[in-house]
Amino acid sequence: MNTSSILRITCFTMFFASVLQLYGQKYERYKVLKDTSLYSPSLKFERDIKVSVPIEWQSNSNQKYPLIIVFDSQNERSHGYILRTIDYLTSTEQMPSCIVVSVASTQQFRYAETLPVATNSKGLARANEHFLFQELIPLAENEWKASDFRLFIGHSRYGYFTTSLFQQYPDDLNAVISLSPFFREKNVNLIDSMSSLSHREFSSNKYYRFGIGDDYPEDFRAMEEKLNTVQNPTLNLIGWHFPHADHNATPGLIIGRALYEIFAHWSAQQAIYLDESQQNFDTIRGLEKEVRVHYGSDLRFSLGVLNGKGWQFYGNSDYEQAIQAWKILIKNYPSFSEAWLYIAETETKLGRDHSKSLQAFRQSIQNSEFYSDEEKKELFVELEQLNR
Please give the Cα distance from 68 to 153 (Å, whole number): 8
The candidate with the shortest Cα–Cα distance to 72, out of 43, 38, 109, is 109
- The one-character DSSP state at 373 is H
Same fold, 26-262 and 302-387: no
Please give the Cα distance from 40 to 23 (Å, whole number): 34
The candidate with the shortest Cα–Cα distance to 173, out of 194, 158, 199, 152, is 152
| Domain 26-262 architecture | 3-Layer(aba) Sandwich (3.40)
The candidate with the shortest Cα–Cα distance to 87, out of 311, 255, 224, 230, is 255
> CB–CB of 135/101 below 8 Å?
no
Please give the Cα distance from 23 to 13 (Å, whole number): 15
Domain extent listing, the chain? 26-262, 302-387
pTM (global) more than 0.85: yes
Please give the Cα distance from 290 to 98 (Å, whole number): 19
Per-residue confidence (pLDDT) for residue 386, from 0 to 100: 82
| Cα dihedral 15/17/21/27 (nearest 10) | 30
In CATH terms, the fold of domain 302-387 is 1.25.40
> CB–CB of 349/3 below 8 Å?
no
pLDDT tens digit at each of 388 positions of the chain = 444 444 443 444 444 444 434 334 468 999 999 999 999 999 999 999 999 999 999 998 889 999 999 999 999 999 999 999 999 999 999 999 999 999 999 999 999 999 999 999 999 999 999 999 999 999 999 999 999 999 999 999 999 999 999 999 999 999 999 999 999 999 999 999 988 898 899 999 999 999 999 999 999 999 999 999 998 999 999 999 999 999 999 999 999 999 999 999 999 999 999 998 888 888 899 999 999 999 999 999 999 999 999 999 999 999 999 999 999 999 999 999 999 999 999 999 999 999 999 999 999 999 898 998 999 999 998 888 887 7
Cβ neighbours, 10 Å, residue 2: 9
